[in-house]
Amino acid sequence: MKQIVVISGKGGTGKTTIVASFAALSNAKVIADCDVDAPDLHLLLKPKVKQTFDFKSGKKAFINEEECINCGECVEVCRFEAIEKIIENDVINKMIIDPISCEGCGVCFHICPVNAIEMRENLTGELFISESKYGTLIYAKLNVAEENSGKLVSMVRNYAKHMAEKENKELIIIDGPPGIACPIIASITGVDLALIVTEPTLSAMHDLDRVYKVAKHFKVRSIVCINKYDLNLENTEKIKKYCKENNIDIAGNISFNPIVTEALVNSIPVVEHIDNKVSNEIRDLYNKTINLLC
Amino acid sequence: MIISVASGKGGTGKTTVATNLALSIDNVQFIDCDVEAPNAHIFLKPKIEERIEVSIPIPKVDKSKCNYCGKCAEICAFNAIVVLKEKVLVFSELCHGCGGCSLLCPEDAIAETGNKIGIAEIGKSDNILFVDGKLDIGEPMSPPLIREVKKYINTDKTVIIDVPPGTSCPVIEAVKGSDFCILVTEPTPFGLYDLKLAVELMEKMEIPFGIVINQSDIGDKKVEQYCLNLNIPILMKIPFDKDIAFEYSKGIPIVVKKIEKKQNFKNLYQQIKELVK
């Protein structure tokens, strides 16, 4: 079984658009959306949810006001500024924990002299096994304001692997998150190939370099796709040069075309929306990617 | 006043709005908190005057004092420390720097040492004070770096914060303490879905917010309808313009190419001032 992940560093370069078309083009795959912060792929693939799992991660501190003696030791030790002393008329009135700032480290719980703090398990998201006309899609939704632990991403990938084995599928296509930190690290470790989607803009090129280095750091092979390549041909040449210098294969170029947005508004993968230059470019990208994977 | 510029979805135009706003008003400090993919420097071209290494404290065990009791491993909520028979292993990439192990070690055998995760850069771009952070490659945790970058906030200025995409911990760290948040979106199903998540976050954090619709003439009207239904102010619409997209690709802000557009961003600022009152 092979795994391919689509990433970019900078957000909004076209990862999900490309993954949706790949999903429509391949018939031997399971699809996984690892952008658990803002999962959008299901909007295009319109799957039916078959099973839902709770995702629990870490704990949060709660103060039992009746037990609390307002000594303030917890405030002193908390490095995340999550506990606030409420002072009224020069007297400490009570302690309040901000659940959003609480990191769940439990130091306050351990230090409290009267055991007034309790650590409660935290429900931070949900994972969905779903069925789309393009195959099984595993996706998840982290609750807003939660820790974007790579753990939920890893859980998505584990279920995807499990489903691919069960269904005897040879390929897992992963829609990756933006950025370069924990969710992206969890999305790329152990995959066979990372397709980096970039644009000929200085911002996207800057972030291409950063995400490429992350992939390299974790020993994942990268290939590149230049989306909207005709928006700035000079920058496109620079990307090609960069790729050559770093020995990165360019798997394809996609031209700028408003039809891509039109397909998105209609919630249809581009290759199914229309047969034109752009859809052919995506087809070529898909074929080349699969060739490079094997 | 602190104004942050956020969005659920990436690539909707946060940096475009933040940098153009900064270039259109007076007395500004710009803070780029998208430390994973910091791009504002491309548009503001600041002269960096200082680079500061940022590290988080990780445990350092003094073998001569440690009796391998295992207390540190027991209390670590992140499994970042493991005690073997005669060895203590520290996994720095899992450590959140809470200091619990050092504080609670019965033998006082754990000190803390800095583990570099990135740098903060401080400089100037004409009259704009500029700060950004760059997370080191391979480092998983951005919030501690964002916290550090925000320590340079100068409240005598109008502070504009460029926020990373998403709705989870890095976003919270960046937006926390803002007087107002601009949510930038685009009129597509992705834009709308992720906008709803961002709105939910703002409500949870109790931060006043308004919407900027970028590429407002592509896509559909559903974002606008959503804002109307929920009484969310639409502060500005930026239509798609291929010339502007081309200038953007070269790192040139809208208001530098078309000075008359400054008025639009001044208006945006006026509306925010009214809403914050």
Evaluate whether B134 touches B34 at the Cβ level (below 8 Å). Answer: no
Per-residue pLDDT at B143: 94
Per-residue pLDDT at A28: 79
* A12 interaction partners in chain B (CB closer than 8 Å): 9-12, 165
* Residue among B10, B197, B205 whose CB faces A11 most closely: B10
What's the N-to-C CA distance of chain A in angstroms?
Answer: 11
pLDDT score of B262 more than 80: yes
* Residue among B135, B172, B218 whose CB faces A181 most closely: B135
Evaluate whether A189 touches A214 at the Cβ level (below 8 Å). Answer: no
Angle at A142 between CA B179 and CA A56, to 5 degrees: 120
Contact check, Cβ <8 Å, B98/A201: no
Evaluate whether A275 touches A247 at the Cβ level (below 8 Å). Answer: no
Choose the weakest-confidence range: A167-176, B11-20, B86-95, B152-161.
B86-95
- Structural element, H or E, at residue B85: none
Residue of B nearest to A41 (CA): B190
Question: pLDDT category, B112, cuts 50, 70, 90?
Answer: very high
Could you give the ipTM of this predicted complex?
A: 0.93
pLDDT score of B136 more than 80: yes
pLDDT digits 0-9 by tens, A2-14: 999 999 999 999 9
Choose the weakest-confidence range: A80-94, B35-49, B222-236.
A80-94
Per-residue pLDDT at A147: 79
Coil, strand or helix at A135: strand
Q: Dihedral sign for Cα B172, B175, B177, B181, please.
A: negative
pLDDT score of A172 more than 70: yes
A50: exposed, middle or buried (C-beta count within 10 Å: 0-12, 13-18, 19+)?
exposed
- Structural element, H or E, at residue A130: strand A117-132
A48-63 vs A117-132, strand pairing mode: antiparallel
pLDDT score of A263 more than 70: yes
* B219 interaction partners in chain A (CB closer than 8 Å): 261, 264-265
pLDDT digits 0-9 by tens, A125-136: 999 999 999 999
**Nearest-neighbour CA in chain A from B148: distance (Å):** 12
**Nearest-neighbour CA in chain B from A92: distance (Å):** 23
Separation in Å, CA B112 to CA B57, B61, B80, B92, B107 = 6, 8, 14, 12, 15
pLDDT score of B21 more than 70: yes
DSSP secondary structure of A45-67:
H-PEEEEEEEEEEEEEEEE-TTT
Question: pLDDT category, B11, cuts 50, 70, 90?
Answer: very high
* A79 interaction partners in chain B (CB closer than 8 Å): 97-99
* A268 interaction partners in chain B (CB closer than 8 Å): none
Q: For chains A and B, what is the number of CB pairs under 8 angstroms?
A: 182
Radius of gyration of chain B (CA): 22
Question: pLDDT category, A27, cuts 50, 70, 90?
Answer: confident
Question: pLDDT category, A89, cuts 50, 70, 90?
Answer: confident
Evaluate whether A37 touches A11 at the Cβ level (below 8 Å). Answer: no
pLDDT digits 0-9 by tens, B27-50: 999 999 999 999 999 999 999 999
| CA pair distance A69, A113, nearest whole angstrom | 9
| CA pair distance B274, A39, nearest whole angstrom | 34
**Nearest-neighbour CA in chain A from B72: distance (Å):** 11
Q: Which candidate in A45, A144, A210, A255 is best for mutational testing of the B interface (most B CBs within 10 A)?
A: A144
Contact check, Cβ <8 Å, B10/A144: no
Q: Looking at the DSSP assignment, which residues form a beta bridge with residue A55?
A: A125
CA A252 to chain centre: 23
- Give the whole-number percent of chain A exceeding pLDDT 70: 100
| Arithmetic mean of pLDDT, B157-177 | 95
| CA pair distance B123, B106, nearest whole angstrom | 45
Radius of gyration of chain A (CA): 23
Residue B26 CB coordination number (10 Å):
10
pLDDT digits 0-9 by tens, A96-112: 999 989 999 999 999 99
Angle at B6 between CA B5 and CA B9, to 5 degrees: 145
- Quick one: which of A204, A189, A153 has its CA closest to A34? A153
pLDDT digits 0-9 by tens, B192-206: 999 999 999 999 999
pLDDT score of B111 more than 90: yes
Per-residue pLDDT at A90: 86
Say yes or no: A264 contacts chain B, CB-CB below 8 A: yes
Per-residue pLDDT at B118: 98
| CA pair distance A102, A123, nearest whole angstrom | 14
- The mean of the pLDDT values for chain A is 95
Contact check, Cβ <8 Å, A40/B204: no
- Quick one: which of A87, A162, A89, A100 has its CA closest to A129? A162
Separation in Å, CA A200 to CA A16, A25, A234, B191 = 18, 26, 8, 22
| Arithmetic mean of pLDDT, A55-78 | 94
Q: Which residue has the tokens 């152990």?
A: A190
Residue of B nearest to A74 (CA): B100
**Token pair for residue B56?**
């988080």
Angle at B172 between CA A99 and CA A64, to 5 degrees: 10
pLDDT score of A215 more than 80: yes
pLDDT digits 0-9 by tens, A202-211: 999 999 999 9
Per-residue pLDDT at A148: 67
* A150 interaction partners in chain B (CB closer than 8 Å): 140
DSSP secondary structure of B100-134:
HHHHH-TT--EEEEEEEEEEEEEEEETTEEEEEEE
Say yes or no: A181 contacts chain B, CB-CB below 8 A: yes
